Amino acid sequence: MTEIHDAISSSPNGLRRRDFLKGAAVAVAGIGLLPQLALAQGAIVALVHTQAAGDNGPVDSMIAKLNAIAAERGFTPRIVYASDAATYETIFRTLGDAGAAVIVSTFNEVAEAFKALAPEYPDTKWIQLFGDPIEPSLPNVVTVSYDYYLGCYLSGLFGAMMSPLGKLGYIGGISLPPLNADANAIKAAMTTVKPDATLTVAFAGSFQDPAKGQEIATQMYKNGVDYIQTDSAATDAGIIAAANEIPGKLVSGISPAQYKLGPKSVAAIVSLDFGQSLYNEVAATLKDGWKGGHTKTGLGTGVIDFILSPVFVDQGDPALVAKAKEVWPKIEEARARILDGSLAVPFNTTL
Amino acid sequence: MIDFIVAVLRSGTPLVYVALAGMIAQRAGLWHLGLEGIMIIGCCATIIGIVLTGSYALAILIACVLCILASMLLWFVIEKLKANPIIAGLGLTGFGVGGTALAAQSIFGSQAAVTAPFGAPRLGDSFGAFASLSIFVAAMPAVVALLWVLLRRTRFGLQLAACGEHPFAARSLGIDPERIRLFALCVGGVLCAIGGAELASGSLQIFAQNMTAGRGFMGFAAVVFGAAHPVWTALAALFFSLVGAIGIRAQILFGDAVPHDLLLALPYLATVLGVWISGRLRGGAKGANGFSELRDY
Q: What angle do CA B226, B232, B236 make, to 5 degrees?
A: 65
Lowest mean per-residue pLDDT among A5-9, A322-326, B12-16:
A5-9
State the pLDDT at residue B45: 96
Residue A188 maps to a domain: yes
Confidence of residue A14 (pLDDT cuts 50, 70, 90): low
Clarify whether residues A123 and A176 are in a common domain: no
Query: Which of A304, A226, A275, A312 is closest to A47 using CA atoms?
Result: A275
The answer to whether residue A27 scores a pLDDT higher than 70 is no
Å between A138 CA and nearest CA of chain B: 33
Whole-angstrom Cα distance, residue A319 to residue A323? 6
pLDDT tens profile A246-272: 999 999 998 888 898 999 999 999 998
Tell me the nearest-neighbour CA distance from A63 into chain B, angstroms.
Answer: 8
Same domain membership, residue A152 and residue A116: no
Is a pLDDT exceeding 70 seen at residue B37? yes
Same domain (yes/no): A177, A204: yes
Over residues A82-87, the mean pLDDT reads 82
| Nearest chain B alpha carbon to A212 | B11
Q: What is the tens place of the pLDDT at every residue in B197-229?
A: 999 999 888 898 888 989 999 999 999 888 899
Q: Which amino acid is it at B120?
A: A
Residue A292 in any domain: the answer is: yes
Q: What is the mean pLDDT of residues B136-148?
A: 96
Same domain, A242 and A288: no
* pLDDT tens digits, B49-90: 999 999 999 999 999 999 999 999 999 999 999 999 999 999
Q: Which of B9, B82, B133, B209 to mutate to test the interface with A (most CBs of A within 10 A)?
A: B209
Average pLDDT over residues A90-98: 90
**Nearest-CB residue to A241 (from B3, B11, B204):** B204
Average pLDDT in chain A: 87
Q: How far is B1 from chain A (nearest CA, A)?
A: 11
- The per-residue pLDDT for range B252-289, each reduced to its tens digit, is 887 777 787 788 888 888 888 887 887 777 765 454 44
b vs e for A58-88, b when ≥16 Cβ sit within 10 Å of the residue's Cβ?
Answer: bbbbbbebbbebbeeeebbebbbbbeeeebb
User: In this model, does residue A7 exceed pLDDT 50?
Assistant: no
Distance CA B67, CA B62 (A): 8
Q: Does A179 touch chain B (CB under 8 A)?
A: no
Calculate mean pLDDT across residues B165-180.
Answer: 90
For testing the chain B interface, which of A176, A215, A240 should be mutated: the one with the most B CBs within 10 Å? A215
Domains of chain B listed by start with CATH number: 7-121+131-285 (1.10.3470)
Instruction: Examine the pLDDT at A13 and tell me if it is beyond 70.
Output: no
Q: Is A231 on the interface with B (CB under 8 A)?
A: no
User: Does residue A215 share a domain with residue A98?
Assistant: no
Please compute the mean of the pLDDT values over residues A46-74 and round it to a whole number.
85
pLDDT at site A207: 86
pLDDT at position A39 is: 46
Sheet containing strand A198-203, strands side by side = A198-203, A167-172, A227-231, A250-253, A266-272, A304-308
| pLDDT for the residue A15 | 60
pLDDT score for A41: 52
Q: What is the CATH number of the domain that holds A58?
A: 3.40.50.2300
Residue A239 lies in a domain: yes
B 178-237 residues with CB < 8 A to A: 199, 203-206, 208-211, 213
pLDDT at A33 over 80: no
Q: Does B10 touch chain A (CB under 8 A)?
A: yes
User: Percentage of chain A with pLDDT > 90?
Assistant: 58
Does residue A212 contact residue A205 with C-beta atoms inside 8 Å?
Answer: yes
Query: Is position A128 within any domain?
Result: yes
Residue A1, pLDDT score = 46
- What distance in Å separates residue B150's CA from the closest CA in chain A? 31
Does A67 map to a domain?
yes
Same domain, A164 and A232: yes
Residue A80 lies in a domain: yes
Q: Are A42 and A74 in contact (CB under 8 A)?
A: yes
In order of A45, A185, A343, B24, B290, the CA distances from A333 in angstroms are 40, 17, 10, 63, 67
H or E element in which residue A48 lies: strand A44-49
How far is B211 from chain A, CA to nearest CA, in Å? 5
Domain assignment present for residue A168? The answer is yes
Is residue A211 located within the same domain as residue A108?
no
What is the pLDDT at residue B106?
83
Instruction: Tell whether A162 and A196 lie within a shared domain.
Output: yes
- Select from B204, B213, B252 the Cβ nearest to the Cβ of A219: B252
Residue A134 shares a structural domain with residue A56: yes
DSSP-H helix ranges across chain A: 2-9, 17-40, 58-73, 88-97, 111-117, 148-162, 177-193, 210-222, 236-245, 274-285, 310-315, 318-340
Q: Is residue A37 part of a domain?
A: no
Q: What percent of chain B has pLDDT over 70?
A: 93
Model pLDDT, residue B290: 46
Chain A CB contacts of B7 under 8 Å are 215, 218-219
Choose between A169 and A288: higher pLDDT: A169
Contacts of B199 in chain A (CB under 8 A): 211
Give the pLDDT of residue A55: 67
pLDDT of residue A83: 76
For residue B294, the model assigns a pLDDT of 43
Q: A35 with A92: CB under 8 angstroms? A: no
Average pLDDT value for residue range A339-349: 92
**What DSSP string describes B205-254?**
-EE-TTTTTTHHHHHHHHHHHTTT-HHHHHHHHHHHHHHHHHHHHHHHHH
Structure confidence at residue A132 (pLDDT): 85
Domain assignment of residue A265, given as a range? 148-272+317-340
> Are both A290 and A257 inside the same structural domain?
no
Minimum Cα–Cα distance from B43: chain A residue: A211
**Cα distances (angstroms) measured from residue A252 to each of A155, A241, B157:** 7, 13, 52
Contact B213/A212, CB-based, under 8 Å?
yes
Number of domains observed in the structure of chain A = 2
Question: In terms of domains, do A165 and A154 share one?
Answer: yes
Task: Name which of B104, B211, B249 is nearest A219 (Cβ-Cβ).
Answer: B249
Nearest CB to B7: which of A200, A218, A237?
Answer: A218
Backbone dihedral region for residue B59 (phi beyond 0: left; psi -120 to 50: alpha; all else: beta):
alpha
Q: Is the peptide bond before A136 cis (omega within 30 degrees of 0)?
A: yes
Contacts of A222 in chain B (CB under 8 A): 3
The model's pTM: 0.79
Q: Are residues A168 and A265 in the same domain?
A: yes
> How close does chain B come to A19, measured CA to CA in Å?
18
Q: What is the pLDDT of residues B184-205, one digit of tens each?
A: 999 999 999 999 999 999 988 8
User: What's residue B292's pLDDT?
Assistant: 45
